[in-house]
Amino acid sequence: MKPAILVTREVFDDTLAFLAESCDVESNQTDLILAPDELALRAAGKEGILCCLTDAIDAKLLAAAPNLKAVANIAVGYNNIDVAACTARGVMVTNTPGVLDDSTADFAWALMMAAARRVAELDATIRAGKWTHWQLKQWMGIDVHGATLGIIGMGRIGQAIARRATGFDMPVLYCNRTQLPAVVEKRLNARWVSKGELLAQADFVVLQLPYSKETHHLIGAPELATMKPSAILVNTARGGVVDDEALIDALRSGRIRAAGLDVFEGEPRLNPGFLTLDNAVLAPHVASSTDATRARMAMTAAKNLVAALSGAVPPNLLNHDAIKT
Protein backbone atom coordinates (compact mmCIF):
# COMPACT_ATOMS: atom_id res chain seq x y z
CA MET A 1 0.00 0.00 0.00
CA LYS A 2 1.35 3.39 -0.98
CA PRO A 3 2.00 5.93 1.79
CA ALA A 4 -0.50 8.79 1.88
CA ILE A 5 0.93 12.27 1.43
CA LEU A 6 -0.35 15.85 1.31
CA VAL A 7 0.91 18.43 -1.17
CA THR A 8 -0.08 21.71 0.43
CA ARG A 9 0.24 24.08 -2.57
CA GLU A 10 0.10 23.90 -6.35
CA VAL A 11 3.11 22.15 -7.89
CA PHE A 12 4.10 21.11 -11.39
CA ASP A 13 2.41 18.24 -13.20
CA ASP A 14 5.65 16.26 -13.49
CA THR A 15 6.17 16.64 -9.73
CA LEU A 16 2.75 15.18 -9.03
CA ALA A 17 3.35 12.40 -11.54
CA PHE A 18 6.63 11.49 -9.86
CA LEU A 19 5.02 11.43 -6.43
CA ALA A 20 2.07 9.37 -7.66
CA GLU A 21 4.40 6.58 -8.73
CA SER A 22 5.10 5.69 -5.11
CA CYS A 23 2.58 7.66 -3.01
CA ASP A 24 -1.15 8.16 -2.60
CA VAL A 25 -1.28 11.90 -3.27
CA GLU A 26 -3.74 14.49 -2.01
CA SER A 27 -2.84 17.77 -3.66
CA ASN A 28 -4.01 21.35 -3.31
CA GLN A 29 -3.76 22.40 -6.95
CA THR A 30 -6.23 25.22 -6.32
CA ASP A 31 -3.25 26.82 -4.56
CA LEU A 32 -5.35 28.39 -1.83
CA ILE A 33 -3.29 28.84 1.32
CA LEU A 34 -4.63 26.40 3.85
CA ALA A 35 -5.57 27.86 7.22
CA PRO A 36 -3.88 26.10 10.15
CA ASP A 37 -7.01 24.12 11.10
CA GLU A 38 -7.60 23.06 7.49
CA LEU A 39 -3.97 22.10 7.09
CA ALA A 40 -4.11 19.99 10.24
CA LEU A 41 -7.32 18.34 9.08
CA ARG A 42 -5.85 17.40 5.72
CA ALA A 43 -2.60 16.22 7.30
CA ALA A 44 -4.39 13.77 9.57
CA GLY A 45 -3.54 10.23 8.54
CA LYS A 46 -0.78 11.32 6.18
CA GLU A 47 2.76 9.91 6.33
CA GLY A 48 4.34 12.73 4.35
CA ILE A 49 3.82 16.43 3.64
CA LEU A 50 5.26 18.39 0.72
CA CYS A 51 4.94 21.99 1.87
CA CYS A 52 5.96 25.56 1.17
CA LEU A 53 7.17 28.42 3.33
CA THR A 54 3.54 29.56 3.70
CA ASP A 55 2.72 26.44 5.75
CA ALA A 56 3.38 26.34 9.48
CA ILE A 57 4.46 22.87 10.50
CA ASP A 58 4.28 23.15 14.27
CA ALA A 59 3.47 21.08 17.35
CA LYS A 60 -0.27 21.52 16.83
CA LEU A 61 -0.12 20.11 13.32
CA LEU A 62 2.15 17.26 14.41
CA ALA A 63 -0.36 16.30 17.10
CA ALA A 64 -3.07 16.10 14.44
CA ALA A 65 -0.91 13.89 12.20
CA PRO A 66 0.44 11.07 14.38
CA ASN A 67 1.41 8.95 11.34
CA LEU A 68 3.65 11.65 9.89
CA LYS A 69 7.16 10.48 9.00
CA ALA A 70 8.55 13.25 6.80
CA VAL A 71 8.08 16.90 5.85
CA ALA A 72 9.69 18.16 2.64
CA ASN A 73 9.90 21.93 2.34
CA ILE A 74 10.04 23.49 -1.13
CA ALA A 75 12.54 26.11 0.01
CA VAL A 76 16.03 26.46 1.39
CA GLY A 77 14.85 28.31 4.48
CA TYR A 78 12.73 26.38 6.94
CA ASN A 79 11.67 28.84 9.63
CA ASN A 80 8.08 27.79 8.88
CA ILE A 81 8.88 24.38 10.42
CA ASP A 82 9.42 23.60 14.09
CA VAL A 83 12.36 21.29 13.45
CA ALA A 84 12.85 20.52 17.14
CA ALA A 85 9.23 19.38 17.50
CA CYS A 86 9.56 17.25 14.37
CA THR A 87 12.76 15.67 15.66
CA ALA A 88 11.15 14.85 18.99
CA ARG A 89 8.43 12.95 17.11
CA GLY A 90 10.83 11.24 14.72
CA VAL A 91 9.63 13.26 11.73
CA MET A 92 12.32 13.89 9.12
CA VAL A 93 12.56 17.43 7.72
CA THR A 94 14.19 18.31 4.38
CA ASN A 95 14.81 21.42 2.30
CA THR A 96 16.05 22.25 -1.20
CA PRO A 97 19.57 23.69 -1.02
CA GLY A 98 21.74 24.25 -4.06
CA VAL A 99 19.13 24.34 -6.80
CA LEU A 100 18.22 28.00 -6.38
CA ASP A 101 21.60 29.56 -5.62
CA ASP A 102 22.26 31.19 -8.98
CA SER A 103 18.70 32.37 -9.60
CA THR A 104 18.60 34.02 -6.18
CA ALA A 105 22.01 35.58 -6.76
CA ASP A 106 20.82 36.93 -10.12
CA PHE A 107 17.83 38.55 -8.45
CA ALA A 108 19.93 40.10 -5.69
CA TRP A 109 21.87 41.79 -8.47
CA ALA A 110 18.64 42.82 -10.20
CA LEU A 111 17.52 44.58 -7.01
CA MET A 112 20.97 46.12 -6.55
CA MET A 113 21.03 47.51 -10.08
CA ALA A 114 17.42 48.67 -9.97
CA ALA A 115 17.96 50.55 -6.72
CA ALA A 116 21.27 52.06 -7.83
CA ARG A 117 19.94 53.28 -11.19
CA ARG A 118 16.38 54.05 -10.01
CA VAL A 119 14.80 51.71 -12.57
CA ALA A 120 11.39 51.45 -10.85
CA GLU A 121 11.12 55.25 -10.61
CA LEU A 122 12.08 55.68 -14.25
CA ASP A 123 9.58 53.08 -15.43
CA ALA A 124 6.78 54.73 -13.42
CA THR A 125 7.69 58.15 -14.78
CA ILE A 126 7.49 57.05 -18.39
CA ARG A 127 4.25 55.13 -17.87
CA ALA A 128 2.69 58.19 -16.26
CA GLY A 129 3.62 60.35 -19.28
CA LYS A 130 5.85 62.60 -17.18
CA TRP A 131 9.01 62.38 -19.29
CA THR A 132 8.92 65.55 -21.37
CA HIS A 133 12.56 66.40 -22.09
CA TRP A 134 16.18 65.32 -21.57
CA GLN A 135 18.44 66.97 -18.98
CA LEU A 136 22.08 66.49 -18.09
CA LYS A 137 21.33 66.32 -14.36
CA GLN A 138 18.25 64.14 -14.58
CA TRP A 139 17.46 61.01 -12.55
CA MET A 140 20.97 60.69 -11.23
CA GLY A 141 21.90 57.26 -9.93
CA ILE A 142 25.10 55.80 -8.55
CA ASP A 143 27.67 53.54 -10.16
CA VAL A 144 27.77 49.87 -9.29
CA HIS A 145 31.11 49.11 -10.95
CA GLY A 146 34.05 49.72 -8.67
CA ALA A 147 31.88 50.09 -5.58
CA THR A 148 32.41 48.04 -2.42
CA LEU A 149 30.02 45.14 -2.01
CA GLY A 150 29.25 43.88 1.48
CA ILE A 151 27.60 40.50 1.93
CA ILE A 152 26.20 39.35 5.27
CA GLY A 153 25.83 35.58 5.03
CA MET A 154 28.48 33.97 2.83
CA GLY A 155 26.99 30.56 2.17
CA ARG A 156 26.31 29.17 -1.29
CA ILE A 157 24.08 32.05 -2.37
CA GLY A 158 26.30 34.69 -0.83
CA GLN A 159 29.27 33.29 -2.69
CA ALA A 160 27.27 33.23 -5.93
CA ILE A 161 26.50 36.92 -5.41
CA ALA A 162 30.19 37.60 -4.79
CA ARG A 163 31.25 35.76 -7.95
CA ARG A 164 29.18 38.13 -10.01
CA ALA A 165 30.96 41.11 -8.46
CA THR A 166 34.16 40.15 -10.31
CA GLY A 167 32.77 41.44 -13.58
CA PHE A 168 31.99 44.78 -11.94
CA ASP A 169 35.49 45.19 -10.45
CA MET A 170 34.01 45.31 -6.96
CA PRO A 171 35.98 44.47 -3.83
CA VAL A 172 33.90 42.27 -1.54
CA LEU A 173 33.62 42.47 2.23
CA TYR A 174 31.77 39.67 3.94
CA CYS A 175 30.51 38.88 7.41
CA ASN A 176 29.95 35.23 8.23
CA ARG A 177 30.08 32.99 11.27
CA THR A 178 33.21 31.35 9.91
CA GLN A 179 35.91 32.57 7.57
CA LEU A 180 36.14 31.07 4.11
CA PRO A 181 39.31 29.25 3.03
CA ALA A 182 41.98 31.61 1.76
CA VAL A 183 41.78 30.16 -1.76
CA VAL A 184 38.05 30.95 -1.91
CA GLU A 185 38.57 34.47 -0.57
CA LYS A 186 41.20 35.10 -3.24
CA ARG A 187 38.95 33.80 -5.99
CA LEU A 188 36.10 36.05 -4.84
CA ASN A 189 38.30 39.06 -4.04
CA ALA A 190 36.63 38.91 -0.64
CA ARG A 191 37.75 39.92 2.84
CA TRP A 192 36.27 38.64 6.12
CA VAL A 193 35.33 41.54 8.41
CA SER A 194 33.08 42.28 11.37
CA LYS A 195 29.51 43.34 10.78
CA GLY A 196 30.34 46.83 12.00
CA GLU A 197 33.23 47.24 9.58
CA LEU A 198 31.16 45.93 6.70
CA LEU A 199 28.26 48.29 7.38
CA ALA A 200 30.58 51.28 7.69
CA GLN A 201 32.53 50.62 4.47
CA ALA A 202 30.17 48.94 1.99
CA ASP A 203 28.39 50.85 -0.76
CA PHE A 204 25.98 47.95 -1.20
CA VAL A 205 24.96 45.70 1.69
CA VAL A 206 23.34 42.43 0.66
CA LEU A 207 21.69 40.18 3.23
CA GLN A 208 21.71 36.46 2.49
CA LEU A 209 21.42 34.57 5.77
CA PRO A 210 18.75 32.41 7.42
CA TYR A 211 16.13 33.87 9.74
CA SER A 212 16.27 32.72 13.36
CA LYS A 213 15.96 34.13 16.86
CA GLU A 214 19.62 35.07 16.61
CA THR A 215 19.21 36.96 13.32
CA HIS A 216 15.91 38.68 14.18
CA HIS A 217 16.34 42.40 13.42
CA LEU A 218 20.02 41.88 12.70
CA ILE A 219 19.70 45.14 10.79
CA GLY A 220 17.88 47.73 12.86
CA ALA A 221 18.19 51.41 13.63
CA PRO A 222 21.67 51.15 15.21
CA GLU A 223 23.06 49.24 12.23
CA LEU A 224 21.42 51.51 9.66
CA ALA A 225 22.94 54.50 11.47
CA THR A 226 26.44 53.15 10.81
CA MET A 227 25.94 52.76 7.06
CA LYS A 228 27.04 55.34 4.51
CA PRO A 229 24.31 57.84 3.56
CA SER A 230 24.99 56.79 -0.04
CA ALA A 231 24.65 53.07 0.72
CA ILE A 232 22.00 50.69 -0.62
CA LEU A 233 20.58 47.76 1.34
CA VAL A 234 19.39 44.61 -0.46
CA ASN A 235 17.50 41.84 1.33
CA THR A 236 16.98 38.55 -0.50
CA ALA A 237 17.16 36.51 2.70
CA ARG A 238 14.09 36.47 4.95
CA GLY A 239 11.73 39.02 6.41
CA GLY A 240 12.50 39.68 10.05
CA VAL A 241 16.25 39.89 9.47
CA VAL A 242 15.58 43.61 8.98
CA ASP A 243 13.56 45.85 11.27
CA ASP A 244 11.21 47.15 8.58
CA GLU A 245 10.02 50.15 10.59
CA ALA A 246 13.59 51.25 11.22
CA LEU A 247 14.43 50.77 7.53
CA ILE A 248 11.47 52.89 6.44
CA ASP A 249 12.62 55.66 8.77
CA ALA A 250 16.16 55.43 7.38
CA LEU A 251 14.95 55.58 3.78
CA ARG A 252 12.50 58.40 4.43
CA SER A 253 15.09 60.53 6.22
CA GLY A 254 17.87 59.86 3.74
CA ARG A 255 19.95 58.06 6.36
CA ILE A 256 20.69 55.55 3.57
CA ARG A 257 20.15 56.09 -0.13
CA ALA A 258 17.89 53.22 -1.17
CA ALA A 259 16.86 49.60 -0.67
CA GLY A 260 15.94 46.61 -2.81
CA LEU A 261 13.69 44.20 -0.96
CA ASP A 262 12.33 40.78 -1.85
CA VAL A 263 11.18 39.85 1.68
CA PHE A 264 9.32 41.58 4.48
CA GLU A 265 8.22 41.13 8.06
CA GLY A 266 4.76 39.52 8.20
CA GLU A 267 4.62 38.96 4.43
CA PRO A 268 2.52 38.97 2.32
CA ARG A 269 1.34 41.89 4.43
CA LEU A 270 3.91 44.61 4.54
CA ASN A 271 4.41 47.87 6.34
CA PRO A 272 2.44 50.47 4.30
CA GLY A 273 5.28 52.90 4.82
CA PHE A 274 7.20 51.15 2.06
CA LEU A 275 4.54 52.15 -0.46
CA THR A 276 5.25 55.84 0.11
CA LEU A 277 8.95 55.53 -0.72
CA ASP A 278 10.39 56.14 -4.18
CA ASN A 279 13.77 54.86 -3.02
CA ALA A 280 12.59 51.34 -2.20
CA VAL A 281 12.41 48.70 -4.94
CA LEU A 282 9.88 46.09 -3.80
CA ALA A 283 9.38 42.48 -4.97
CA PRO A 284 7.02 39.76 -3.65
CA HIS A 285 9.52 37.06 -2.49
CA VAL A 286 10.40 35.91 -6.00
CA ALA A 287 14.20 35.67 -5.99
CA SER A 288 14.11 31.99 -6.97
CA SER A 289 11.14 32.35 -9.31
CA THR A 290 12.28 31.17 -12.72
CA ASP A 291 10.69 28.34 -14.66
CA ALA A 292 13.69 26.07 -14.36
CA THR A 293 14.57 26.81 -10.74
CA ARG A 294 11.10 26.49 -9.26
CA ALA A 295 10.62 23.21 -11.14
CA ARG A 296 13.92 21.89 -9.75
CA MET A 297 12.94 23.00 -6.25
CA ALA A 298 9.65 21.12 -6.39
CA MET A 299 11.24 17.97 -7.80
CA THR A 300 14.06 18.08 -5.25
CA ALA A 301 11.51 18.27 -2.44
CA ALA A 302 9.53 15.43 -3.99
CA LYS A 303 12.62 13.23 -4.22
CA ASN A 304 13.44 14.01 -0.60
CA LEU A 305 9.96 12.95 0.46
CA VAL A 306 9.91 9.73 -1.56
CA ALA A 307 13.32 8.76 -0.23
CA ALA A 308 12.24 9.37 3.36
CA LEU A 309 9.06 7.34 2.98
CA SER A 310 10.87 4.47 1.26
CA GLY A 311 13.15 3.96 4.23
CA ALA A 312 16.20 5.76 2.81
CA VAL A 313 17.96 8.78 4.24
CA PRO A 314 16.77 11.73 2.11
CA PRO A 315 19.54 13.71 0.40
CA ASN A 316 18.75 17.00 2.13
CA LEU A 317 17.86 15.83 5.62
CA LEU A 318 18.04 18.63 8.19
CA ASN A 319 17.48 16.64 11.39
CA HIS A 320 19.46 13.41 11.38
CA ASP A 321 18.50 12.87 15.02
CA ALA A 322 14.94 12.21 13.88
CA ILE A 323 16.08 8.89 12.44
CA LYS A 324 17.40 7.81 15.83
CA THR A 325 14.27 8.83 17.73
Catalytic residues, by residue number, are 238, 267, 285
Specify whether the CB–CB gap between 155 and 208 falls below 8 A.
yes
Residues contacting 28, CB < 8 A, separation 6+: 6, 7, 8, 9, 10, 34, 42
DSSP-assigned letter for residue 145: T
Quote the CA–CA distance of 8 and 34 in Å, as a whole number.
7
Alpha helices by DSSP H, the chain: 13-20, 36-43, 59-64, 83-88, 101-116, 119-127, 156-165, 182-188, 195-201, 221-226, 244-253, 291-309, 321-324
Q: What are phi and psi of 232, to 5 degrees?
A: -120, 135
